[in-house]
């Protein structure tokens, strides 16, 4: 047996959307394997099928054909309850818009997934405080989201994503609503946690700051995997990426 373990395997996945008269083929046969503990960036222009693939890896959408395995479980076979369980225990979500529950303070936001998972209140509190300490916000635990800055909110969201010790953290443009330095801090935090806790971080992004820390970059174009670049290949072709970003923004 191969000793590399894949936390996500995507095989021959297609996804089509029926928009009345026309069929839109968002994905046309994607194959992808993501190794445990890696930091992956999924890049691609809008309309490339990037978000569709990303949602499927996160168990938020089911493929039209093909298979998506998360931790060796085919998500198409799961019922609503099992999918909710998967989202609760196996996947931590981080959003572009932070998405903290506005009516709860930082600590309550972090403990909510643990409550769903059946953790007792006091155990959840303890672990929640530990996680907030981990992201450097233990002194802010009683603050409501609207009393926190964008970067702080995203830190709370990172702590919340880690609440049930997931195998995967799914980050959708985690730096999209943050300024340059705050974005870099969040990226560094994600990278550190990924390494320390052996969590696979998968992020969909336009942010080229992400590339420096990524173990692997998956380029999506026209519903197919354009190419998968590893870390070592990346550092050589930095100039190329720069050129690429210009051609894409143009």
Partner 1 sequence: MKKTNTAQGNGIAPDKAQRLLVLPFRKSLEISFKSIQARFFRSLITTTTLVLAISFFSFVMVGTNAANGLLSTGEREYRQALVKSGYDLEPDQVTVGSSPKQRWIAILSLLVCVVGIVNAHLMAVTERFREIGTMKCLGALDRFVMRLFILEAGMQGLAGSLVGALAGAFFALASFGLRFGSPALTHLNWGDILGSVGMAVGGGILLSLLGVMYPAWIASRMQPVEAMRVEH
| 36 in contact with partner 1 (CB under 8 A) | yes
Please state, in angstroms and rounded to a whole number, the distance separating the CA atoms of residues 2 and 125. 40
Asked if 67 touches partner 1 (CB under 8 A), the answer is no
89 binds partner 1 (CB under 8 A): yes
When binding is defined by CB under 8 A, the residue of 44, 63, 113, 223 that contacts partner 1 is 113
Q: Does 82 bind partner 1 (CB under 8 A)?
A: yes
Of the candidate spans 171-179, 184-192, 224-232, 242-250, the one that interacts with partner 1 by CB under 8 A turns out to be 171-179
For partner 1, give the closer residue by CB, 45 or 212.
45
**Which range, of 20-28, 89-97, 182-190, 240-248, touches partner 1 by CB under 8 A?**
89-97
125 binds partner 1 (CB under 8 A): no
Q: How far is the CB of 84 from partner 1 (least distance, A)?
A: 5
Three state DSSP letters for 82-138: HHHHHHHHCEEEECCCCCCCCCCCHHHHHHHHHHHCCCCHHHHHHHHHHHHHHCCCH
Contact of 128 with 163, CB cutoff 8 Å: yes
| 88 is an interface residue for partner 1 by CB under 8 A | yes
For position 72 contacting partner 1 by CB under 8 A, the verdict is yes
Q: Residues 99, 138, 182, 212: which binds partner 1 (CB under 8 A)?
A: 99
In the numeric block, which tokens belong to residue 19? 């928009």
Which stretches does DSSP call E strand in the chain? 6-19, 22-35, 39-43, 65-70, 73-74, 91-94, 168-172, 200-205, 216-221, 224-230
Stated as kind and residue range, the H or E segment containing 56 is: helix 50-57
**At closest approach, how far in Å is the CB of 174 from partner 1?**
12
Residue 83 burial class via C-beta count within 10 angstroms: exposed 0-12, middle 13-18, buried 19 and up: middle
* Contact region with partner 1 (CB under 8 A), list: 148-156, 160-168, 214-222, 235-243: 160-168
Question: Cα–chain-centroid distance for residue 154?
Answer: 13
Binding positions for partner 1, rule: CB under 8 A: 5, 36, 51, 55, 60-61, 70-73, 78, 80-82, 84-90, 93, 95-97, 99-104, 112-113, 115-118, 160, 164, 167, 172-173, 176, 198
């Amino acid at each position: 047996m191969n000793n590399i373990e894949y936390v996500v395997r995507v095989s021959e996945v297609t996804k089509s959307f029926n928009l009345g008269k026309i069929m839109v083929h968002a994905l046309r046969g994607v194959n992808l394997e993501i190794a445990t503990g890696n930091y992956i960036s999924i890049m691609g222009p809008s309309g490339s099928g990037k978000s569709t693939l990303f949602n499927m890896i996160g168990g938020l959408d089911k493929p039209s054909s093909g298979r998506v395995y998360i931790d060796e479980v085919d998500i198409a076979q799961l019922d609503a309850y099992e999918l909710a369980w998967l989202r609760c225990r196996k996947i931590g979500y981080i959003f572009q818009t932070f998405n903290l529950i506005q009516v709860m303070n930082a600590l309550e936001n972090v403990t909510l997934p643990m409550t769903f998972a059946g953790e007792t209140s006091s155990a959840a509190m303890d672990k929640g405080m530990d996680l907030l300490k981990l992201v450097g916000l233990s002194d802010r635990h009683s603050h409501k989201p609207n009393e926190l800055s964008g970067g702080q909110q995203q830190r709370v969201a990172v702590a919340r994503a880690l609440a049930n010790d997931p195998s995967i953290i799914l980050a959708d443009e985690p730096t999209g609503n943050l300024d340059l330095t705050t974005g870099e801090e969040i990226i560094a935090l994600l990278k550190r946690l990924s390494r320390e806790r052996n969590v696979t971080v998968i992020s969909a992004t336009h942010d080229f700051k992400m590339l420096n820390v990524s173990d692997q970059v998956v380029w999506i174009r026209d519903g197919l995997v354009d190419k998968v670049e590893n870390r070592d290949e990346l550092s050589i072709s930095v100039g190329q990426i720069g050129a690429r970003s210009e051609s894409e923004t143009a």
